[in-house]
């Protein structure tokens, strides 16, 4: 089974590098795809590609944390990734009670400075996976 590799896509173009023979090729891709299987033009090796179209890359981050709702309710979460603008995580007990544009706070006991930006807004809920965006503090 082929391993999934993340490739950066800039202006709908991908610099593919075969993991088997190291051959390189520039490919044009449609805007709407997020995953693609690519066969090497030189050795024929099949690679499963995850296409990263973000301008600022995300960093994988694993660990336990807590999401706190405005009403004081707390839900345990598993961190998945962190970027400059937000956090992706899985909710351990299902996504009931989580809705889009809801404001939450995140707490991380093992590294308090990891999520110290303060408030977040829920931007994506897909099953147990949740994505939140950091709210920049605005001083008046």
Q: What residue ranges define each of the domains in the chain, with the CATH number in brackets?
A: 4-52 (no CATH), 59-134 (2.40.10.220)
pLDDT in tens, 34-67: 889 999 999 999 999 988 887 776 777 888 988 9
- Per-residue pLDDT at 28: 94
46, 2 in Cβ contact below 8 A?
A: yes
Q: Is 75 left (phi over 0), alpha (psi -120 to 50) or beta?
A: beta
Percent with pLDDT over 90 in the chain: 39
* H helix or E strand, kind and range, residue 15: strand 13-17
Task: Identify which of 140, 106, 138 has the alpha carbon closest to the alpha carbon of residue 121.
Answer: 106
- Per-residue pLDDT at 136: 67
Long-range contacts of 76-83 (CB under 8 A, 24+ apart): 77/106, 77/130, 79/108, 80/129, 82/58, 82/114, 83/54, 83/56, 83/57, 83/58, 83/59
Q: Enter the tokens of residue 125.
A: 């809920």
Q: Enter the tokens of residue 91.
A: 């909710």
- Per-residue pLDDT at 117: 56
Q: Enter the tokens of residue 106.
A: 């995140």
| Residue numbers in the chain where pLDDT is lower than 50 | 138-140
């Amino acid at each position: 089974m082929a391993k999934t590799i993340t490739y950066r896509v800039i202006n709908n173009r991908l610099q593919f590098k075969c993991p088997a023979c190291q051959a390189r090729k520039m490919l044009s891709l449609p805007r709407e795809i997020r995953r693609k299987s690519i066969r090497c033009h030189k050795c024929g090796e099949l690679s499963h590609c995850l296409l990263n179209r973000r301008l600022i890359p995300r960093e994988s981050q694993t660990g336990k944390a807590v999401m706190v709702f405005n009403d004081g309710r707390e839900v345990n979460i598993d961190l998945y990734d962190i970027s400059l603008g937000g956090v992706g995580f899985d909710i351990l007990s299902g996504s009931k009670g989580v809705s889009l544009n809801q404001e939450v706070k995140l707490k991380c006991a093992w590294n308090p400075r990891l999520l110290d930006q303060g408030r977040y807004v829920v931007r994506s809920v897909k099953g147990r996976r949740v994505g939140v965006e950091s709210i920049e503090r605005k001083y008046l």
